Structure 1
Amino acid sequence: MTTSTSAASAAGENVGEFSAVDSSDRSAWFIDFMDYANALPEYRAIRQGLAASLGDLDGRSVLEIGSGTGDDARELAALVGGGGRVVGTDVSAAMVEEARRRSAQGASLPVEFAVEDMRDLTFADGAFDATTAKLVRQHCDDLDAADAELLRVTRPGGRIAVFDYDFDTLTVDHPDRVRTREAVHCFCDGHRNGWNGRSLARRFQERGLAGITITPYTVRMPFAFFRRSMEGRLSEAQRSGALAWTAGQLADWWRPLDEAEDGGRFFASITGFLLAGSR
C-alpha cells in the first residue's frame, strides 16, 4: 500500500511558496522537489523548447530569471560557448548557493549566479541578448514590475522566452468529481498567479513584444510528483479552513488515488504555455 503523508509534507511544505524558501528551515525540501521535477522527460522538453525559442545563442549573453539549482542555466551555458555568458538569478540565497556548488563540480562553463529580485533587477538596460524565465512568475506578487524588468534588461531585438503553468488545467482521474474540482481550485488558488499561463499572450502583447508565439506543454505527473505538488497545499488549506473539508474527508479523497497508484492506474497531468517573442 502506498504510504500516506510524508514527514516533509506533514510539516506543511507548499509548492506555491517558492518565494519564501529562505524563510523556511526546510530549503532542502524545495531543492529536492526541483530535482524531481527537472528529471521528468516533459521538463527536459520544456527546457529544450525555451532554449530553441531564444534563437542561436553562440556568443550571446543570456539571463535566466528564477534559476533555482542551475540546471537550465548550465544547459544554456553549453550553448553560448566560450564567447558567451549566462547569468542565473534567484530570489533565494539557498538556491543560488546550491547552484554555485553544483556548477563548481563539473566542467568549466561561462555561467554565474546571483541573488536578485525579479521585480527590481540590478542589471543595466539592454544588458542581455536573451532572457528566459521558467515557472517563476507564478510566485511573484507584482507581475507588472517583474515583466517590465524582464523587458528592460533585454536589448532591443533580443529574444524573450517564458514558461508558466496554468494551474486550473490540472486533471486528475478520481471517482469524486465534486471534491476533485474543489481540490484543483484550491491548489490553483494556492499560487499567487494560478492563471498565469493563460494570461501570458495578453500581458506581453500589451508590453509590445513582437512576433509572439505560444506553445502548450502537458506534463504527465507521476504519483510521487503529484503528491509532493498537492499534499502540502491541501493539508494547509484544510487546517486553515480555506478548503472546507474535515481531515477525514481529505484522507478519504487521497485513498482512491493511493489505490490507483498501487494498481498502476493513476493518472494526472498539468499544462503550461511557452511564450516567445522579440523585444
Structure 2
Amino acid sequence: MTTATDSPSQHQDVGRFTTVDSADRSAWFIEFMDLANGLPEYRRMRGELAASLGELSGKRVLEVGSGTGDDARELAALVGSEGKVVGTDISAAMVAEADRRAARQPTLPVRFAVEDMRRLSFGNGAFDATTAKLVRQHCDDLDTADDELLRVTRSGGRVAVFDYDFDTLTVDHPDRRATREVVHCFCDGHRNGWNGRALARRFLDRGLREVSLTPHTVRMPWVFFRRSLQGRLAEAVASGALSWSQQELQAWWQPLEAAEERGRFFASITGFVLAGTR
C-alpha cells in the first residue's frame, strides 16, 4: 500500500486544478476525479444536481468545469436526441480526455470545449439549464464567474451548483490541536475554501429565485482522503505555510495509517447543492 509519507513529488495539490495543463502529471488529476466520481456520495450528488435542473428532455444544458466529461455524458442521456449538452473546462488535457471518453458513445448529444468560466463564449440565455460542480472553489474571480453562469442561462431556466466548504473536514485523530491546523491548512489551500457556506447568499444577491440548499456529507475512504490532503500538506510544510517539520507531518499521518490498517479510519467533508430559477 502506498503510504502517506511517500515522496511529495509523487503527489499533486488538489487545490490546483486550474494548473492541470502545466502539471508534471496531468494524469494524476484525471485519476483523482475518477476516484471521487466513483464514491456513492458523488453518485447521489450528481443525481440531485441533475434532478434540480428539472425535466431535461430536449433541453440545452451547459456544464461548467466538466473535467473528464462523465457528468456531462449522464446529462446527455437525459436530454435525448432533441437536446444538447456542452461541457467546458479550462484544461485542454481534461477536454481531450472528455472527448476520448465521449467517442465511446458517439450518439450522445454532447460536445466539449476549452473555456474560462469567467469569460464564456456563449450568448446571453443560450442554455435552458446550467450546472457547475466543484469548480468555483478554484476560481480567482467568483463575482465574474457567477455572473457568467447566470448570463448564459435563459430567464426561467435552472441553475444547479455543488461546492464543498473545506472547513467542514472532519478527521478522527488523537491530536486535536494538530488536526485543527491541518483542517485550516487544507481549507486555505483552496482559493475559495469557504465556498459552500456562501452559496445561498451569493446567488440570492444575483436574483436567483426558488433557491434551495441541500447539504451532502461525503465519507472519505482512506485512499481518497490521502490523495486529497497529501500533496497540499507536503507543499505547505515545504513552503512554511504549515510550520511543521517533515517529522511532525509524518507523525500526524501515522495514527491515521494505523487506524486504516485496523479498519477504524474515519474522515468526512460536507458540501452543498444549490439550485434555483434564473
TM-score if structure 2 supplies the norm length?
A: 0.98
Q: Partner of 2:59 in structure 1?
A: 60
- Tell me: CA distance 1:33–1:233, structure 2 relative to 1, closer, same or farther (3 Å): same
Q: Partner of 2:155 in structure 1?
A: 156
SS of residue matched to 2:103:
helix
Give 5+ residue unaligned stretches, structure 2: none
Q: Partner of 2:128 in structure 1?
A: 129
Q: Partner of 2:117 in structure 1?
A: 118
Q: Partner of 2:191 in structure 1?
A: 192
Cα shift at 1:2 = 6.3
**Residue pairs, 1:105-254, within 5 angstroms:** 105-254=104-253
CA-to-partner distance for each residue in 1:135-176, whole Å, 9 max, x for gaps? 000000000000000000000000000000000000000000
The 1-side partners of 2:34 and 2:246 are apart by 30
Cα shift at 1:5 = 3.5
- Conserved 8 A contact 1:12-1:236: no
Q: Which amino acid in the other structure matches residue 171 of structure 2? A: V
- Conserved 8 A contact 1:2-1:259: no
The 2-side partners of 1:175 and 1:233 are apart by 21
1:80 equivalenced with 2:79 (yes/no): yes
The 2-side partners of 1:41 and 1:191 are apart by 24
The 2-side partners of 1:26 and 1:211 are apart by 42
- Conserved 8 A contact 1:2-1:258: no
Q: Which amino acid in the other structure matches residue 54 of structure 2? A: G
SS of residue matched to 1:277:
strand
- Tell me: CA distance 1:133–1:156, structure 2 relative to 1, closer, same or farther (3 Å): same
Q: Partner of 1:4 in structure 2?
A: 4
Q: Partner of 1:275 in structure 2?
A: 274
Q: Which amino acid in the other structure matches residue 140 of structure 1? A: C
The 1-side partners of 2:116 and 2:245 are apart by 38
Give 5+ residue unaligned stretches, structure 1: none
Q: Which moved more, 1:105-114 or 1:76-85?
A: 105-114
The 2-side partners of 1:223 and 1:11 are apart by 17
Cα shift at 1:12 = 4.7
Which runs of structure 1 show a deviation greater than 4 angstroms over 4 or more consecutive aligned residues? Answer: none
Q: Partner of 2:43 in structure 1?
A: 44
Q: Partner of 1:31 in structure 2?
A: 30
Q: Which amino acid in the other structure matches residue 33 of structure 2? A: M
Q: Which amino acid in the other structure matches residue 92 of structure 1? A: S
Task: Indicate the RMSD between aligned Cα atoms, in angstroms.
Answer: 1.0
Q: Which amino acid in the other structure matches residue 112 of structure 1? A: R
CA-to-partner distance for each residue in 1:99-153, whole Å, 9 max, x for gaps? 0000001352000000000000000000000000000000000000000000000
SS of residue matched to 2:193:
coil
SS of residue matched to 1:105:
coil
Q: Partner of 1:95 in structure 2?
A: 94
The 1-side partners of 2:105 and 2:128 are apart by 26
- Conserved 8 A contact 1:2-1:261: no
The 2-side partners of 1:77 and 1:32 are apart by 23
Q: Partner of 1:70 in structure 2?
A: 69
Cα shift at 1:14 = 0.2
The 1-side partners of 2:234 and 2:33 are apart by 20
CA-to-partner distance for each residue in 1:215-263, whole Å, 9 max, x for gaps? 0000000000000000000000001110011110000000000000000
Q: Which amino acid in the other structure matches residue 256 of structure 2? A: L
- Conserved 8 A contact 1:2-1:262: no
